């Protein structure tokens, strides 16, 4: 009788170990699937919630996108140079200029995703030429003009973003252009980019 009970006990233990083994193998199989999925979900979560580097320049919310008649009065722009707001119906032909345009006209360029490089006449000639070379390297969606009312010798402007510089910093200028060029609310192709310095002012682009 004792021998029978001992054999039964051994058999029961073997059955229990077999059951536990099956449970362990099933758990490990599930773990092989769950762990990679969990890691993938965690990676996606961290990717989505990863802090984004701020865009270069200072942000100014556009006050308006309204077209106004030439010479019409409007509210005061919230930045200098303006980064958005009321503007004339016709933008300026993209290119490089040694003359000034009305802010209201160039703001329309910004709306088209153009970058405006505005410089004062007291900027050294070599720096003006360096800015012109940067503009030429893109050859579209760039307008470079003289602007006496700049608060600094160089202002690089995009729709809702502004970078004012007290001296030429090529790296910062190029980073700003790369971040904001072609990012305006109206993506309108431009054409005819040229260095217009010393030449007659071309006819501005017609409004789309």
Q: Which tens digits make up the pLDDT trace of 115-165? A: 999 999 999 999 999 999 999 999 899 999 999 999 999 999 999 999 999
Q: What is the arithmetic mean of pLDDT over 42-59?
A: 66
H helix runs in 49-138, sequence order: 103-111, 125-138
Q: Are 92 and 105 in contact (CB under 8 A)?
A: yes
**In the predicted structure, residue 11 carries a pLDDT above the cut 80:** no
Q: Is 64 exposed, middle or buried (0-12, 13-18, 19+ CB in 10 A)?
A: middle
Beta strands in the chain (DSSP E): 58-59, 95-96, 115-119, 142-146, 154-158, 161-165, 194-195
**pLDDT at residue 207, as a whole number:** 43
**In the predicted structure, residue 4 carries a pLDDT above the cut 70:** no
Comparing 6 with 54, the larger pLDDT belongs to 54
0.85 exceeded by pTM: no
Alpha-carbon distance 90 to 64, whole Å? Answer: 16
Q: What 3-state DSSP class applies to 160?
A: coil
| C-alpha torsion sign, points 37, 43, 47, 48 | positive
| Nearest residue to 154 (alpha-carbon basis) of 118, 110, 115 | 118
**pLDDT at residue 54, as a whole number:** 82
Selecting from 3.40.30, 3.40.50, 2.60.450, 1.10.20, what CATH number does the domain 58-195 have? 3.40.30
**pLDDT at residue 199, as a whole number:** 84
Alpha-carbon distance 151 to 165, whole Å? Answer: 9
**pLDDT at residue 19, as a whole number:** 75
Tell me the average pLDDT of the chain: 86
Q: How far apart are the first and last CA of the chain?
A: 103
Comparing 191 with 6, the larger pLDDT belongs to 191
Q: What is the arithmetic mean of pLDDT over 9-34?
A: 71
pLDDT band at 190 (very low <50, low <70, confident <90, very high): confident
pLDDT band at 94 (very low <50, low <70, confident <90, very high): very high
């Amino acid at each position: 009788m004792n021998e029978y009970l001992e054999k039964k006990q051994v058999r029961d233990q073997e059955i229990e170990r077999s059951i536990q083994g099956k449970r362990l193998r099933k758990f490990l199989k599930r773990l092989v699937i769950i762990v990679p999925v969990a890691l993938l979900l965690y990676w996606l979560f961290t990717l989505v919630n990863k802090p984004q580097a701020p865009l270069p320049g200072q942000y100014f919310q556009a006050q308006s996108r309204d077209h106004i008649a030439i010479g019409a009065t409007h509210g005061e722009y919230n930045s200098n140079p303006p980064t958005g707001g009321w503007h004339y119906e016709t933008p300026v032909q993209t290119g490089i200029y040694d003359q000034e345009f009305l802010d209201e006209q160039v703001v329309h360029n910004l709306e088209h995703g153009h970058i405006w490089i505005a410089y004062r006449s007291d900027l050294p000639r070599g720096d003006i030429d360096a800015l012109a070379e940067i503009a030429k390297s893109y050859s579209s969606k760039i307008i470079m003009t003289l602007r006496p009312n700049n608060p600094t010798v160089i202002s690089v402007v995009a729709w809702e973003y502004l970078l004012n510089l007290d001296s030429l910093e090529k790296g910062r200028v190029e980073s700003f252009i790369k971040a904001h060029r072609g990012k305006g609310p109206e993506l309108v192709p431009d054409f005819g980019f040229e260095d217009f310095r010393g030449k007659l002012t071309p006819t501005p682009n017609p409004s789309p």
